[in-house]
Amino acid sequence: MSAETGNPVVLVRREPPVAVVTLSRPQVLNALSPELMETLAQEIEALDADDAIRAIVLTGSGRAFAAGADIAEMADKDAAAMLERDQFRCWQRLRATRKPLIAAVSGYALGGGCELAMLCDMIIAAEGARFGQPEVRIGVMPGAGGTQLLTRALGKWQAMELVLTGRTLTAREMYERGLVTRVVPDDLQLSEALRLAREIASHAPIAVRLAKEAVQKAFMGTLEEGLPLERKNFYLLFATEDRREGMQAFLEKRTPVWRGK
Ligand code: CO8
């Protein structure tokens, strides 16, 4: 429950094998207050530990996915107070999610909101969604991965323009630059993200988890680190019952039955 309004700031809907997590501070465009981030980390961790859930969709509400960190809440803080609070621990907890995390974005995904979308494994964006890192306009800079992730996704020269001007890009522009997985008509982002989540959830859970880990490694590390990890995970899957079942089902021309083992 939010201390200000008495309403929950994060809503969770479980529809096994998938779940939808909704940011719910629409009156402030889902500004990411410390309370919201802590609740979000707790809820996602709970879903990550829930055997019935195999993929998680994260979405916004009202006019935004999220318009960034809560400026009103940060405005009077000094460096020591910000450091002491260590809000980025929540972001680390979210980054540790092992199940696929799909962002369904409509409206604004700005600052921390853009960073939260980028923290997800896939981004389904409505035509009208807008992405950007406007922090320089209020005298700060991205702090939850924006400079690093945008540069990896877009390359130095395009990321630099976004970060130094604070300009926003449309969903289609982000798609063309490789940051958005798919653009869909307005209001279809959630149903499309759910469709994708269910498709992923229909596959062998351990294979999905290890494959996600390997793609993340490719994004975060070097090829020298990534290739051995991919190979290790590939071999590891031969120790699972699901791998045996998947190949047997293929040979017997039937649908596999996954046991998550
Ligand atoms: N924080 C707090 N309140 C916000 C925020 C925000 N980030 N964004 C919007 N609001 C509030 C507004 O103050 C307004 O409240 P009220 O109705 O009480 O005046 C309400 O939401 C609606 O907003 P607007 O009236 O401004 O709506 P507009 O349609 O005119 O404009 C914009 C929409 C363009 C999105 C505009 O609201 C805006 O520029 N918002 C701020 C965007 C921004 O600068 N984001 C970056 C913040 S800094 C950051 O994210 C750093 C990340 C560091 C790590 C993350 C840690 C969590």
| Residues 159, 223 within the same domain | no
**Which CATH number goes with the domain that contains 244?**
1.10.12.10
Q: Is residue 244 part of a domain?
A: yes
| Residues 138, 21 within the same domain | yes
Q: Which of 27, 29, 77 gets mutated to test ligand 1 (max ligand atoms within 8 A of its CB)?
A: 29
CB 40 within 8 A of CB 10: yes
Q: Give the pLDDT confidence score for residue 7 in this predicted structure.
A: 82
Buried b / exposed e along 203-241 (16+ C-beta atoms within 10 A): bbbbbbbbbbebeebeeeeeeeebeebbeebeeebeebe
Q: Give the pLDDT confidence score for residue 85 in this predicted structure.
A: 86
Q: Is residue 261 part of a domain?
A: no
72-119 pLDDT, tens per residue? 999 999 988 888 888 899 999 999 999 999 999 999 999 999 999 999
Q: Give the pLDDT confidence score for residue 4 in this predicted structure.
A: 65
**Which CATH number goes with the domain that contains 48?**
3.90.226.10
Q: Give 177 Cα–ligand 1 centroid separation in angstroms.
A: 25
Q: Give CA–CA dist 37/150, Å, rounded.
A: 21
| Residues 175, 212 within the same domain | no
Which residue's CA is the nearest one to ligand 1's atom 53?
A: 143
| Residues 219, 141 within the same domain | no
Residue 247 domain boundaries:
205-252
Annotated catalytic residue within 55, 60, 68, 115: 115
166 is catalytic: no
| Residues 55, 15 within the same domain | yes
| Residues 84, 71 within the same domain | yes
129 is catalytic: no
Structural domains of the chain, count: 2
φ and ψ at 190, to 5 degrees? -75, -45
Rg of the chain in Å (alpha carbons): 19
The verdict on whether omega for the bond into residue 16 sits within 30 degrees of 0, i.e. cis, is: no
Q: Give CA–CA dist 248/160, Å, rounded.
A: 50
69 is catalytic: yes
115 is catalytic: yes
155-180 pLDDT, tens per residue? 999 999 999 999 999 999 999 999 99
Which residue's CA is the nearest one to ligand 1's atom 36?
A: 67
| Residues 28, 66 within the same domain | yes
| Residues 135, 114 within the same domain | yes
Q: Give the pLDDT confidence score for residue 228 in this predicted structure.
A: 87
Q: Which of 164, 185, 201 is the last residue of a domain?
A: 201
Q: What is the mean pLDDT of each run of 10 residues along the chain (261 residues)?
A: 78 98 98 97 98 98 97 91 89 97 98 98 98 95 93 94 96 96 98 98 97 95 87 90 93 94 93
Is residue 110 within 6 Å of ligand 1 at its C-beta?
yes
| Residues 24, 145 within the same domain | yes
Q: Give CA–CA dist 105/174, Å, rounded.
A: 12
SS3 15: strand
| Residues 90, 145 within the same domain | yes
- Global pTM value: 0.94
